[in-house]
A = this chain, B = another copy of it.
């Protein structure tokens, strides 16, 4: 990674929580540069505009997710890796007081109809996550641990998508029940 790329990542790391909390329209370039402690003008050395920043932040968000490694954890059976991923996410949301929701989900909801660039970046995120889950489902299928009654890709997409709906509901329900119930259904679909 070159110096400019490192600085870009640093700006995103120090500021993307703002867009997570206040949304795309609720966050100005000035808010971002203040949070990253850089002059407003220098923003454009790194990003074409706010839309480009949001796109880059989506890719950054995906790669800073430690949990992604769970899907490759050979100490866990493949189906248990999927459940473990969502269990870790549920704990994270509880720690945050069931606020904010998913950075990517929020941006899809707010900007998916408006910005092709952002829609494309969020879609890339869903596809990458779906691929990870599909791989686990296939591994389980091959080892005889899983007898899928549905096409694996359909099921993987359904898991990824339905979780986003759980996080929408979390904002009106504001407790762990909605997250726990998702994990119950997931266990039922995958492990029973």
List A residues at the B interface (Cβ < 8 Å).
23, 25-26, 99-101, 105-106, 108-110, 112-113, 119-120, 122-123, 126, 149-151, 154-155, 157-158, 160-169, 171-174, 178, 181-182, 184-185, 188, 192
Contact = CB atoms under 8 A, between A and B. Distances in A.
A109 B164 CA distance: 10
Contacts of A184: 150-151, 154
A178 B149 contact: no
A95 to B, nearest CB: 15
A158 B163 CA distance: 10
B110 A110 contact: yes
A112 B99 CA distance: 9
A150 B113 CA distance: 35
Contacts of A157: 169, 178, 181
Contacts of A149: 188, 192
Contacts of A162: 158, 161-162, 165-166
A161 B170 CA distance: 9
Q: Is the interface of A mostly helix, strand, loop or mixed?
A: helix
A169 B108 contact: yes
Given A161-B162, A172-B119, A184-B154, A106 B108 contact: no
Contacts of A171: 108-109, 112-113, 119, 122
